[in-house]
Chains A and B, each alone.
Chain A
Amino acid sequence: MISRSLMAASTKPILLSILLEGEDYGYNIIQKVKELSGGALEWADGMIYPVFQRLEKDGLVASRWIASPEGRFRKYYRITAQGHAELSEEMAQWRAVVAAMGKLWRPLPTLD
C-alpha cells in the first residue's frame, strides 16, 4: 500500500507518462495504471478525473470527446507540448531521487 503523500506526488508524472503512448480515455488509463503497478497503486477510479481537469487547466493535457463504435462518448486526453516539458522536468527529479535511493539501499543479500 502506497502512502497518500507519495501517491499525490506521483499521480501527475504517471498520468502524463501513460499519455506518452498516445491519446487515451480515463477508464483505459486507470486499467493501465492498475496493470503496471500490479495493484500497488490503489486509486478510487473517480479520483483521476479531477486530476485530469487540473492538468487540463494548467495546459499540460488537452481533451476531446470521441464516440466509440458502440456509440458511447468518451473523453480522450493527450499530452501537450507544455506537458512534455513538465514531464521531462519531473522525470529528471524522480530519476535523481531513485538514483540516490538506489545507492543507499544496496541489493538485499541473497542466500545462495
Chain B
Amino acid sequence: MFNLEKAILEWRRSFRRFASYEEGVLAELETHLRDEFGRLKRAGAGDEEAFAAAALAVGRPEAVGAEYSKSAARCSPLLIVSHVKVALRKARRRKGTSLINILGLAVGMAACALILLWVRDELSFDRFHHGVERLYRLVLVDQRTDNSSYIRELPSPVADALAKDYPEIEAVTRTYGARFQVRFGDKAFNENAVAFVDPAYFRIFSFPGVVGDPAAGLSDQSSVVLTEETALKYFGGENPTGKVLNLDGRNDYRVAGVVRVPRNTDLRFAIFLPLRSLERWGISGASLDSNWRGRMYRTYLRLGPGGDPRALERKTSGLLKAHNPGRDERLRLQPLTEMHLYAPDGTPAGMRIVVVLSLIAALILAIACINFMNLATARAGSRAKEIGLRKTVGARRSQLIRQILAESVLMSFLALALAIVLISAALPSFGRLTEKSLSFDLADPAAVSGLVAVALMAGLLAGLYPALVLSSFRPAAALTGRSVSPRTGARLRKALLLFQFSVSILLLVATAVILSQVRYIQSRKIGFDRENLIYAYIMGANRDNVELLKREVEGRPEFLGASACDNLPTQILYQYSADWEGRDSATEVEFNYTICDFDYVRTFRMTIVAGRDFSRDRPADEEAFLINEEAARRMGVKSPLGTRLRFMDGHWGEIIGIVKDFNFRSMGTPISPLVLTPKGRKRYFVARLKPGDPGPAVRSFEQAWERVNPGFVFEYGFVDRNFDILYRNERQLGKIVGSFSLLAVFISCLGLVGLASFTVGQKTKEIGVRKVLGAGRSEIARMLASAFLKWVLLANLIAWPAAAWIMSRWLENYAYRTRLTFWMFALAGIVSLVVALATISVHTLKSALANPVDSLRTE
C-alpha cells in the first residue's frame, strides 16, 4: 500500500544525497511537492500516480541540488561562521595537539616575521630618494693589476668633467668624509661624520629640509647644514639658523639649514660643509680642480630621464686615461639601490646574507607547517568516523575540503595572534642580535598584510594535504573503520619528519661552522699584539702636539710605549703604485701604505724579519721605508734590503727592513704588500698599556691629554675592539643562524611530541599484548624510541653531506679559514638525537610503564 509520508521521507533523502542545504530549503521544496500532489489529487489522480507526477514536476534531485550548490558556492557568511564554530569546538576538544599546532606555528611565524622585518629593513636602504632608479655611485675601476680593483674614492675633477661634458647627467656631487671637534658656546663634541659635499648633494639625494633650503645653504663657503639630531644636540629647541659653529678652533661656519636624515641610509652624515670650503683647510683650489691622481672623493650622480648608465660608462671610458696616461682606469656606475648590499665591484656581499636568511625564514615556516600537516594526517584515523558521517548526511567533498581548510586557517590565525605577542616580546633582543633598531607596528599596513598573508598561506599549506586525504574517504568504509588504516599518509609523514630534521641538523652544522670560523679569525695570530693598545684621534691644533703627548705618556708608569701614525691597522685601505730600483717594467705592484713614527713597530710589537727598524739615532731614516714580507715577495728583487723605492710619485728612499706580515684587514682578504713610511701627517696616537685593568691607564691617558690639549674633548678607543668590528658581519650571522637553528630544532621537536603521543596511542594495544607475552619495559621503550630515532639518524645522513658542501662553499669566501672537522657534524647529530630522544621519552616511558590490563580492557 502506498504511504505518502514514507515516500516523502525517501524523496527528501534522495535530495540530500547530492548536496547539503541550508535550513528550510527542503521544507520549502516539500510544501511545493505537497501542493502539487494536492492539485493532482483534486484532478482525480491516484495517490501513487499523483506523487510521481508531483516529484517529476519539482525536478530531479541532482539537477535542483546542483543549482543550489551553485548559489552556496558563493560562500555565504553563515557557512564560514559555521566552519569557524566547528573548528573552535575541535580545538577545544583536542587541547594537546591544538596547543602543539598553535605554539609551533606561532614560533615559526614569529621567527619568519622577525627575519622578514630584518630583510625588509636591509632592502629599504636608500630607496626613499626621489627617482632613485636614476641615482648612481661612481666606482673607479683600476685595471692595472692582474685583477681589477674597485675603488669608491675618485679624483676630484671627475665630478666637474662629468657635469660639464655629459648632458645626460643631471647633477653630480662629491663627498669627502672628515672628523672635527665642533664647538658651540661651552658645548664641544667630536664629530666623526662630517662631510664636505657639493651643493648638488641635496638635489641628488632626498633629505627633506626641516629649516632653510639645504642646497642653497651650501653655496656659501662658510655655511653649514646640520641634521635634525645634530641641531638638537647643539641648540636644544632653539632655532639654529644663523648660529655659528667653530670647527677645530680654526674655522667658523654659520648654520644655514637643517635636514632630516632617515635611519635606513648609508649616507649617514651629521654635518654637511660646502666642498669648496676645503680650501679653508689647506686643500688648494688647484688640487680640487686638477688633481687627477689622488683618489679621495666619493662621487654620486643623477642621470636625466632616459639616461643609459651603460652608454655613459662607454662614453667615459677614455676620461681618466686622457688625464692619467700611465694608468688604465675607467668608471663604473653602480645603482644607488645596490650600494647597501653589493660591494663596489658588484659582488652581492650583503645580498648573500639577505638571501640566506630569507631561505632560513622559509624553512622554519615550512617546518612549522609540516607539524600541522603531520598531526592532522596522523589523526586522520580518528577523524574518519566524523568525515564518514558528514558525507552520509550529505556533505560534498568540496564542502569537507573547505571545512578542513577553514579549521587549519583558523588555527593559523590563532597562531598569528600568539606570534604577534612573541614578535613584540622578542623584538628588543632580536634588535640587539642584529644591531639594528627594528620596529614592528601593527598600524603598518605592509607589515600587517604581510603577516596575514603568511598566516593565510601557512593555514592553507598546512591544511591542504589533510583536506585532500580526509575528504577522499569513502563514507561506508570510513564509518566501519575498515579502509582507514593508521598508516594513512605514513610514508609522507616520515618523509616530512625526515625533512624537518634534515633542515634542523643542517642549520646546526652551519652554526657550528660559522662560530668556529669567527673564533678562528678572532684568535688567529695576526702578526702583532693587538691587546692593550689604546688610541685617540688627534684633532685640530693637537695635531702639532703629538711629540708632546708622546713624551707625556711615555713618562707614566701605566704605559709601555707610544707611537703616532696616520691610520690604525684596521683602516689601511688605499693602494698606490710604487717604483723601485731593478723593477722589471712588466711588474706592477699595488702597495698599501701607512705613515708611522719611529716607535710604531715597537709599540705594536711587530717583528722585523730582516734588516732593522727605524732608529731615532739616524735622522736619515725619515726618508727610509719598511716593507712587509708580501711586498718583498712581490717586488721580484733578489734582496729588497738596501733597494731604493719611490712611492706615490714621492721621494726615493732606501728599504731598511722587512716586517713580518701582519693582518691589517679582515681575514676575508689575503695580506697585501705594505709600505711603512715616516714621512707625512699622523693623526692617530696609539699607546701600549701594561696588561691588567685598563681603568687607571685610561684616566692617566686623559690627564696627559688634558695637560697637552686643555679644552679638547678626550675620546679614545682600543685597537682590539676595532678588529672585532671587522668581523661584525660574521659574528652577527653566526648568532642569527645559531638562534634560528635552535628554533628550528625546537619546532621540529614539538612536532615529534605530537607524533610520538599519537604513535603511542596507536600502539597501546600492541604494547599491552607484548607485555602480557613477557616483554620488559626496556624492550618496549626501545621499540618505541627506535621507531623515531631511526629517522633522526637518517636525517643526519642526509644533512651532513649537504651541510659539508654548503659550508665549504661559504668558507671559500675567506682567505684564512677554519677546517670542517668531524665534531661539527657529530655535535649536530648528537644534539638532534638527544633532543629527539628526550622529547619522545616521556611518552615511551609512560606507555612502557602502563599496566597492560588497562590498555587491553578498552574493548
Contacts and interface: CB of A to CB of B under 8 A. Distances in A.
A54 interface: yes
A18 B67 CA distance: 21
A72 B34 contact: yes
B68 interface: yes
A25 B76 CA distance: 23
B57 interface: yes
Nearest to A30: B32
A75 B28 contact: yes
Interface stretch (B19-27, B238-246, B784-792): B19-27
Contacts of A94: none
Interface string A19-57: 000000111001000000000000011110111011001
Nearest to A46: B59
Given A53-B68, A57-B76, A46 B29 contact: yes
Contact of B31 (A30, A50, A74): A74
Interface in B10-46: 22, 24-25, 27-29, 31-32, 34-36
B71 A46 contact: no
Considering residues A30, A53, A72, which has the most beta carbons from chain B within 10 angstroms of its beta carbon?
Answer: A53
B70 interface: yes
A75 B23 CA distance: 12
Contacts of B27: 73, 75
Given A27-B36, A44-B59, A53 B22 contact: yes
A45 B32 contact: yes
Contacts of B638: none
Interface string B722-759: 00000000000000000000000000000000000000
Contacts of A47: 59, 63-64, 67
A45 B31 CA distance: 12
B797 interface: no
Contacts of B71: 50, 53-54, 57
B64 A46 contact: yes
Contacts of B60: 44
Nearest to B28: A75
Interface string A56-80: 0100000001000000111100000
Nearest to B15: A46
Interface in B93-152: none
B74 interface: yes
B58 interface: yes
Interface footprint category on A: 10 to 19
B14 to A, nearest CB: 12
A107 B172 CA distance: 81
A54 B27 CA distance: 17
B34 A45 contact: no
Contacts, number: 64
B63 A45 contact: no
A27 B58 CA distance: 10
Contact of A72 (B25, B29, B31, B76): B31
A70 to B, nearest CB: 9
B63 to A, nearest CB: 7
B71 to A, nearest CB: 4
B31 A73 contact: yes
Contact of B67 (A26, A45, A50, A57): A50
A45 B59 contact: yes
Nearest to A50: B67
B31 A44 contact: no
A57 B29 CA distance: 18
B25 A53 contact: yes
Considering residues A26, A27, A57, which has the most beta carbons from chain B within 10 angstroms of its beta carbon?
Answer: A27
A27 B22 contact: no
A48 B484 CA distance: 41
B31 A46 contact: no
Contacts of B32: 26-27, 30, 45-46, 49
Contacts of B67: 47, 50-51
A98 to B, nearest CB: 28
Contacts of A49: 25, 28-29, 32, 64, 68
B64 A27 contact: no
Contact of A45 (B25, B36, B70, B76): B36
Contacts of A75: 24, 27-28, 31
A44 B53 CA distance: 12
A57 B64 contact: no
B70 to A, nearest CB: 7
Nearest to B35: A27
B70 A44 contact: no
Nearest to A74: B31
A44 B28 contact: no
A67 to B, nearest CB: 11
B26 to A, nearest CB: 10
A54 B71 CA distance: 6
Considering residues B22, B63, B64, B74, which has the most beta carbons from chain A within 10 angstroms of its beta carbon?
Answer: B64
B70 A50 contact: yes
A45 B74 contact: no
Nearest to B19: A50
B63 A44 contact: yes
Contacts of A72: 31, 34-35
Nearest to B26: A49
B35 to A, nearest CB: 4
Interface in B50-78: 57-60, 63-64, 67-68, 70-71, 74, 76
A15 to B, nearest CB: 14
Considering residues B22, B58, B63, which has the most beta carbons from chain A within 10 angstroms of its beta carbon?
Answer: B58
B74 to A, nearest CB: 7
Contacts of A45: 32, 36, 57-59
Contacts of B29: 46, 49
Nearest to A70: B38
Contacts of B59: 44-47
Contacts of B74: 54, 57
Interface in B617-639: none
Interface in B266-284: none
B686 to A, nearest CB: 81
A11 B71 CA distance: 15
B529 to A, nearest CB: 82
B363 to A, nearest CB: 43
A57 B72 CA distance: 10
Contacts of B31: 25-27, 72-75
A74 B35 CA distance: 10
A75 B35 CA distance: 13
A41 to B, nearest CB: 14
A73 B23 CA distance: 14
Nearest to A28: B35
Nearest to A55: B71
Contacts of A50: 64, 67-68, 70-71
Nearest to A75: B28
A75 B24 CA distance: 9
Interface in A69-102: 72-75
A11 B62 CA distance: 20
Nearest to B72: A53
A72 B25 CA distance: 15
Contacts of B24: 65, 75
Contacts of A27: 31-32, 35-36
Nearest to B58: A46
Interface of A: 25-27, 30, 44-47, 49-51, 53-54, 57, 65, 72-75
24 contacts: A26-B28, A26-B31, A27-B31, A27-B32, A44-B57, A44-B59, A45-B57, A45-B59, A46-B32, A46-B57, A46-B59, A47-B63, A47-B64, A49-B29, A49-B32, A49-B68, A50-B64, A53-B22, A53-B25, A53-B68, A57-B71, A72-B34, A75-B27, A75-B28
Given A46-B59, A49-B25, A72-B31, 18 more contacts: A26-B28, A27-B31, A27-B35, A30-B32, A44-B57, A44-B59, A44-B60, A44-B63, A45-B57, A46-B58, A46-B64, A47-B59, A47-B63, A49-B28, A49-B64, A54-B71, A75-B24, A75-B28
* Those 7 A-B pairs whose CB atoms lie nearest each other, nearest first: A44-B59, A46-B59, A50-B67, A46-B58, A46-B64, A27-B35, A54-B71
